[in-house]
Amino acid sequence: MERVLLVRMGEIFLKGDNRPQFINALARRVRYAIWPLHGRLELAQGRMYVKGVQDMDLCVDKVTKVFGVHSVSPALEVEKDLAAIERAAIEMTKDLSGSFKVSARRADKRFPMDSMQINAHLGGVVLDNNPNLHVDVHKPDHVLSVEIRELAYLHVTKIAAVGGMPVGTSGKALLLLSGGIDSPVAGFMLAKRGVELSAIHYHSFPFTSEQAKRKVVELAHILSQYTGPIHLYVVPFTKIQQELYDKCPDNQLTILMRRFMMRIANRVALEKGCGALITGESLGQVASQTMEGLQCSSDVCTLPVFRPLIGFDKTEIMDRAQQIGTYDTSILPYEDCCTIFTPKHPTTKPKVERLRESEALLDVEGLTEEAVQGIEEILVRYGDAVENSVC
Ligand code: ATP
Ligand code: MG
C-alpha cells in the first residue's frame, strides 16, 4: 500500500495533436514543483501520480499551484487484489464520520467484480469497520472513490488546483512589474494561460530605496511558485526621470515616463525572445490609464501589449492578489518610481504628436541605451537547487 498523489490534468487542451507536448510541459512543471520533496512523477494513461513524498500536505500545496493541473487527490495505491483493496478502503475511511458512499470505476474490465458489486462490497466492509459512518447514496458527506486501472487507487478528497495551461506552452512575455497590487496579478493571469514570464522593473535609486527593490524581488519570488524561475531585469531609471522633470511640461511627466518604460520594455523583450509585454493597467484607474493614455504608451511598442486587468475594478484585483498571495507584500509602504516626480495635474487626454514634440527635447535613444546598458539581471526562483537540476 503506497500513499500517492493523483494529479488530474485540465481536459480541454489535452485534445488534438499537441497533446504529448502539453503533457510533457505539464510533467516538467510538476517535477519542478515536487523536486524539493524528493518525490517522483509517474505518467500512466492520461494521469499523473506523485510518489515517494513524506509530507503529503506540502505536496498538495505545491502541485495545486501548477498551471495545467485541474485537481488532485491524495490516494492509496494497491494491487488489484480484493483483500488489498479492502484494507485500503478501511484505512482511507477510518477517521471519517457522517454519511458516505462508495463510487467505483473499473477501467480494467478484467477485474472480476463490476462497479456496482465493488460499491456494495466495499460499502459493507467500511460499515463493519467504522461505526461512525452510515450510507447515503444521494447526498453523502464523503465519497470513497475506487479506481481500478493499472493498479487500484482509493481516495476520499478531491482538491481543486489552479487550472489553466502549463507554463511555456503559450510562449514568453515580459511583465512590467511594479511594487503595486496590480502588476503581479496581471502576470499571474497570463502565466495561467501558459505564458512563461520574464519581468522588468524600473528603479529610481536613491529616490526609491533598496527596500523597494527587494519588495519587487519578493513579489517575483511569490509569482515564481506558480510560474517557475523568472528573469527579473532591474532598470536604472533615475536619469530618465530627472531629464523629463528638467526639460518637459509638467502635465506630461507621467505619460512620458510611461512611454520610456514601454520603449525600454519593448527593446528588452525583443532581445530576450519575448513575444509580448504585460502590464497591470486598468481602464480609468489613474490619469495615464485613459483610452488616450493607453494609446500613447502603446505607441512606442512594436510588440503586442497584454493588459489582462483592463476591465477589472480595483477591489476585484485586490481579491485576486489575496488569493495568489501577493497582496500583503504589495501593500508594504515603499515608494515606487511612479510616485516621485508626479505632476499635480497630469493630462488625461494626451496626444501622441505633443508627446513626440516634448521627446524631441531629449536624447531618447541615448537615454534608452544607457538605461538598457545599466540593467541588473536577477534570476528569481523558488528553491535554488531545483532549477539547476530540473529545468
Ligand atoms: P498599483 O496597485 O499601485 O496601481 P500598479 O503596479 O498597477 O500598482 P500603476 O501606477 O497603476 O501601478 O502602473 C501601471 C502599470 O505600469 C503597472 O501595473 C506596471 O505594469 C507598470 N509599472 C508601473 N510602475 C512600474 C515600475 N516601477 N516598474 C515596472 N513596471 C511598472
Ligand atoms: Mg495600477
Q: Please give, one letter per residue, the 3-state secondary structure of 301-351.
A: CCCCEECCCCCCCHHHHHHHHHHHCCHHHHCCCCCCCCCCCCCCCCCCCCC
Ligand 1 atom with the shortest distance to the CA of 180: 8
* Integer angstrom CA distances of residue 388 from 32, 169, 359: 10, 21, 44
Task: State residue 391's pLDDT score.
Answer: 28
Q: What's the 289 CA to ligand 2 centre distance in angstroms? A: 9
Q: Which three cell numbers stand for residue 345?
A: 495635474
Query: In angstroms, how far is CA 25 from the centroid of its own chain?
Result: 15
Give CA–CA dist 146/164, Å, rounded.
27
Q: What's the 167 CA to ligand 1 centre distance in angstroms? A: 23
Give CA–CA dist 228/224, Å, rounded.
5
Question: Could you tell me which residues are beta bridge partners of residue 306?
Answer: 278
Site residues for ligand 1, CB cut-off 6 Å: 176-178, 180-183, 200-202, 261, 279-281, 285-286, 336-338
Q: How many CA within 13 A on the CB side of residue 282?
A: 17
Nearest to 226, CA basis, from 51, 388, 390, 380: 380
Task: State residue 19's pLDDT score.
Answer: 83
Whether this prediction's pTM lies above 0.85 is answered by: yes
Q: What's the 83 CA to ligand 2 centre distance in angstroms? A: 60
CA dihedral 372, 376, 379, 382 (to 10 degrees): -120
Cell 458516505 locates to 100
Q: Name the pairing type of β-strands 69-78 and 159-160.
A: antiparallel
Nearest to 97, CA basis, from 66, 126, 58: 126
How many Cβ atoms from other residues are within 10 Å of residue 155's Cβ?
A: 21
Which of 182, 237, 290, when mutated, tests ligand 1's pocket best, judged by the most ligand atoms within 8 Å of its CB? Answer: 182
Q: What's the 258 CA to ligand 1 centre distance in angstroms? A: 9
Q: What's the 182 CA to ligand 1 centre distance in angstroms? A: 7
Ligand number nearest CA of 186 is 1
Which of 310, 338, 342, 376, when mutated, tests ligand 1's pocket best, judged by the most ligand atoms within 8 Å of its CB? Answer: 338
Q: What's the 284 CA to ligand 2 centre distance in angstroms? A: 10
Q: Which residues contact 19 (CB under 8 A, 6 or more apart)?
A: none
Give CA–CA dist 296/144, Å, rounded.
58
Ligand number nearest CA of 175 is 1
Ligand number nearest CA of 181 is 1
Nearest to 287, CA basis, from 244, 345, 336: 345
Q: What's the 113 CA to ligand 1 centre distance in angstroms? A: 61
Rg, Å, the chain Cα set = 26
Give CA–CA dist 176/187, Å, rounded.
9
How many Cβ atoms from other residues are within 10 Å of residue 254's Cβ?
A: 22
Ligand number nearest CA of 212 is 1
Q: What's the 254 CA to ligand 2 centre distance in angstroms? A: 13
- Residue pair 5/56 in contact (Cβ under 8 Å)? The answer is yes
Task: State residue 389's pLDDT score.
Answer: 28
Task: State residue 27's pLDDT score.
Answer: 94
The DSSP secondary-structure symbol of 282 reads: -
Q: What's the 380 CA to ligand 1 centre distance in angstroms? A: 19
Question: Could you tell me which residues are beta bridge partners of residue 43?
Answer: 48
Hey, whose CA ends up nearest to atom 12 of ligand 1? 180
Give CA–CA dist 266/301, Å, rounded.
6
Q: Which residues contact 261 (CB under 8 A, 6 or more apart)?
A: 176, 202, 237, 297
Q: Which three cell numbers stand for residue 302?
A: 512594436
Ligand 1 atom with the shortest distance to the CA of 175: 20
Q: Which three cell numbers stand for residue 263?
A: 520603449
Hey, whose CA ends up nearest to atom 7 of ligand 1? 182
Q: Which three cell numbers stand for residue 231?
A: 528573469
Ligand 1 atom with the shortest distance to the CA of 258: 16
Q: Express each pLDDT in 32-61 by its tens digit.
A: 999 889 999 999 877 899 999 999 999 999
Q: Name the pairing type of β-strands 376-380 and 305-306.
A: unpaired
Which of 175, 177, 181, 183, when mutated, tests ligand 1's pocket best, judged by the most ligand atoms within 8 Å of its CB? Answer: 183
Q: Which residues contact 41 (CB under 8 A, 6 or more apart)?
A: 27, 30, 31, 34, 48, 49, 50, 51
Ligand 1 atom with the shortest distance to the CA of 336: 27
Residues lower than pLDDT 50 in the chain:
384-391
